[in-house]
Amino acid sequence: MAEPADHRDATLLAPIERTGPGFYWAVGLLSLFILWGAIAYWTQLDEGLGVTGLHQPVSWGFYVTNFVFFIGISHAGTLISAILRLSRAEWRRPITRMAEVITVMVLFIGAGQILVDLGRPDRVLNVIRYGRYQSPLLWDATSISAYLTASILYLYLPMIPDIAILRDRLGKRELLYTVLALGWTGSARQQKVLNRAIAVMAVLVIPIAVSVHSVVSFVFSMTLQPMWHSTIFGPYFVVGAIFSGIAALIVAMIVFRKAYGLEAYLKPIHFRYLGQLLLVMSLLWFYFTFAEYLTGYYGGEPEEMKVFWAKFSGPFWPFFWGMALANFVIPVLCLMRLGRRTVGKVLAASLSVLVGMWLERFIIVVPTLSNPRLPFGEGIYWPTWVEWGETAGSFALFALFYLLFTKLFPVISIWEIREGREVGVKEVEERVVSYLPDTGEPVPAESVRRR
């Protein structure tokens, strides 16, 4: 590899080489939240789920909401990165790694929510011993574990050349990097095999990702419950997942841009493109939500309407309208014109979408349960400190995992940036030329048609 290039990308290696006080402060702060979560979970394990606000009939609350939310966030990564890779979007280069890390880290947290939700976590292996494939929960287990495996592989493959750089240059943790680099030398043959493997994984991971949030939605839509039993839940959940995933990706990018001084790599243009993608997803999300609620309302089935009004004007109205505001109004206003102060606007929209999508998951899970078909009266759910603690702890644990990753591996793919400089520019030029009509003698229209 050329020496000047090594020097140019020193910023990307800096967080791995040196550790400042900011890192310890961040770890300390996150640990406090994780401790809160751990105490909450220990209390719950010891005394039972009774320490939460769950009851009859609202037997699912924060944990299931978090599960759907976190698994949704996971669509940030692998899916977006795969689509950008396959569509040869050159601006993907500094983004893909960050996106893929989100997926892998958040999948652990998301799957963990189900474990936290179980009344008998000690019996979780019964799912394997006595598994019943008719249950959508088994579909979830299958799909999510396939996604986790594929995502880890898809994160790891493009990291191999970077790990080799670390092995050769860093001079610490040599054993780890040597093992993980798999003897990478950067030969043309190795590069060819790697590119092929990445392309295969990118294609493979898209259907798996779509299946993941479809089966998560099937947990709800396969039941007969009002406002759950809906045919559009699969695509609706997938759209919401990609929506919240992009928002999470943007937030992560802005945080690490600031913390590690990556302004040279993550430019306003990247945020503008992602912001436009977020805007499109916001409109798409609104369309799905509108279609879903209009269909319910127009049919006017009494059981459906009970849940419908509970959301619109009943006890859940702040959450419902908060969701509409945070998922549609605010992002559209922020993202409509991205000419100036792009990063700030995109950040505001993304934070708003993250809140809005969490509310969306909540507004799907709880109101249906709190309005039973038989005359039980409405069940109101309010979480206790245990659920708040577990939720805060989960977010903090995710942030900590992400942070630790960035201290071990470069958060922006070094070799792909180099490839962009060395190969990408020329390739794009050739590609654009190949799109244009061939220069030379203009061919008569007649002969073109015959060909």
Which residues of the shown chain bind another protein in the complex (CB under 8 A)?
A: 47-50, 53-60, 114, 117-121, 123-124, 126-127, 129-132, 134-138, 141, 219, 222-225, 369, 372-376, 379
Judged by beta carbon, residue 142 or residue 178, the one nearer another protein is 142
Judged by beta carbon, residue 181 or residue 219, the one nearer another protein is 219
Q: Is 102 exposed, middle or buried (0-12, 13-18, 19+ CB in 10 A)?
A: buried
- C-alpha to C-alpha distance for 227 and 224, rounded to whole angstroms: 9
Q: How far is the CB of 128 from another protein (least distance, A)?
A: 9
- C-alpha to C-alpha distance for 209 and 197, rounded to whole angstroms: 18
Judged by beta carbon, residue 124 or residue 425, the one nearer another protein is 124
Judged by beta carbon, residue 77 or residue 112, the one nearer another protein is 112
Q: How far is the CB of 379 from another protein (least distance, A)?
A: 6
Q: How far is the CB of 61 from another protein (least distance, A)?
A: 10
- C-alpha to C-alpha distance for 227 and 364, rounded to whole angstroms: 8
Judged by beta carbon, residue 120 or residue 451, the one nearer another protein is 120
Name residues whose C-beta falls within 8 Å of residue 319's C-beta, 6 or more positions apart in sequence: 311, 359, 362, 363
Q: How far is the CB of 290 from another protein (least distance, A)?
A: 26
Contact 156, 115 (CB under 8 A): no
Q: How far is the CB of 112 from another protein (least distance, A)?
A: 14
Judged by beta carbon, residue 60 or residue 265, the one nearer another protein is 60
Judged by beta carbon, residue 369 or residue 399, the one nearer another protein is 369
Residue 273 Cα distances to 266, 335, 342, angstroms: 11, 11, 10
Q: How far is the CB of 316 from another protein (least distance, A)?
A: 17
Name residues whose C-beta falls within 8 Å of residue 441's C-beta, 6 or more positions apart in sequence: none
Q: How far is the CB of 361 from another protein (least distance, A)?
A: 15
Residue 394 Cα distances to 113, 240, 243, 244, 398, angstroms: 8, 20, 20, 17, 6
Question: Where do the H-state alpha helices sit in 77-118?
Answer: 77-86, 96-117
Judged by beta carbon, residue 41 or residue 402, the one nearer another protein is 41
Q: How far is the CB of 118 from another protein (least distance, A)?
A: 5
| Helix, strand, or coil (residue 153) | helix
- C-alpha to C-alpha distance for 84 and 94, rounded to whole angstroms: 12
